[in-house]
Amino acid sequence: MSASYNMYFNMSVSVCVLLRLSGFCILIIYLSFSVCLLELFDSEDPREREYLKTILHRVYGKLLGLRAYIRKQINNIFLRFIYETEHFNGVAELLEILGSIINGFALPLKSEHKQFLVRVLIPLHTAKSLSIFHAQLAYCVVQFMEKDSTVTEYIIRGLLKYWPKTCTQKEVMFLGEIEEILDVIEPSQFIRVQEPLFKQIAACISSPHFQVAERALYFWNNEYILSLIEENCQVILPLVFATLYRVSKEHWNQTIVSLIYNVLKTFMEMNSKLFDDLTASYKVEKQKELKRECERAELWRGLDEQQERRLQILGEARKGTGLTVSNTGIHNMGSLTCPTPVTTDGHVKCCRSGEERGEQLI
């Protein structure tokens, strides 16, 4: 296989030279060649995909006229992977190539490139096999941010839109990617996304899965992120305070509790007045909540007592009037009358008791 792909590689370089000198016919042939080359990335052999990656990278670098076409075909492969098959072995290798391509984009970014980010790269996070290519995907996303900071809001809001609800492994990966993004985010862009972002981080902190909560709390160990939080403490602290306080009392994992105490201590050092105000308001709110719960319990207790008294009254009335109290209603058995039965010999048969009269009715 190595010899075959070495020959394939040399042939592709030769074709690149011919394509520069030839006309439209060879262009059509090479367009088909490019499509076939990309489809080969679905190979299950990682060595083959590595050779293909080298060949495609060389072709993309040599043929300027085919670059847009190659990007479009990669785009189509990813869209088919996301919305149709959910299977393609070469996603990681294609993303590696795209990382180099994105790094070479000219500024300002074309609308085509921004659409690729929003419509392809962000939805790729929904794939079940995300763990196989997440590192390469996160690299591409960060490359876009470093090229043009205005796409930051699209990226973070897109990740929040596709945030996993049941897969904790993917949640940990998302949190890792968010930290990579925050490492290079500009303060002006951070302000635009801080509220929805830290609402999600607070939700992760309250997760019963300790790895998710731990990964979210590690954000406060990052010096640059900590500086952003400190600059916007008035907004961020109210978003996460109630969650931090509650989880510090309820979480089953002591490591998480210790990390939360460290975060609360950090917030207290950042803005002690705001911290004290939030503590007082949280305690007042908890007292109101407890009062509402007591009132609700008292209301149900009163309803139960009313039901018991009602059943007791009906039971006493039954003894005096022959009423039968049941779950389905009240039956007055004494008022039932039975038809006069006649025996086979023509004599009248009388009912001997109310019970027999009831059976006769049945």
Q: What is the pLDDT of residue 355?
A: 46
End-to-end Cα, the chain, rounded Å: 90
Q: What is the pLDDT of residue 106?
A: 85
Q: What are phi and psi for residue 212, nearest 5 degrees?
A: -65, -50
CA atoms within 13 A on the CB side of 86: 6
Q: Domain ranges in the chain?
A: 36-41+50-61+70-84+93-122, 148-270
Q: What is the pLDDT of residue 264?
A: 95
Q: Is 349 helix (H, G, I), strand (E, B) or coil?
A: coil
Q: What is the pLDDT of residue 334?
A: 46
* Nearest CA among 236, 320, 224, 306 for reference residue 271: 236
Q: What is the pLDDT of residue 356?
A: 46
Q: What is the pLDDT of residue 65?
A: 79
| Average confidence (pLDDT) per 10 residues, the chain, 362 residues | 56 53 55 82 89 86 83 93 91 94 89 93 94 95 92 95 94 96 94 96 96 96 96 95 94 94 95 93 87 91 91 84 53 47 49 46 38
Q: How far apart are CA 243 and CA 217, in angstroms?
A: 12
Q: How far apart are CA 111 and CA 92, in angstroms?
A: 24
Q: What is the pLDDT of residue 333?
A: 46
Q: What is the pLDDT of residue 335?
A: 46
Q: What is the pLDDT of residue 57?
A: 86
Q: What is the pLDDT of residue 127?
A: 93
pTM equals 0.77
Q: How far apart are CA 19 and CA 34, in angstroms?
A: 13
Q: Is 23 helix (H, G, I), strand (E, B) or coil?
A: coil
Residue by residue, DSSP assigns 219-265 as GGG-HHHHHHHHHTHHHHHHHHHHHHHHHHHH-S-HHHHHHHHHHHH
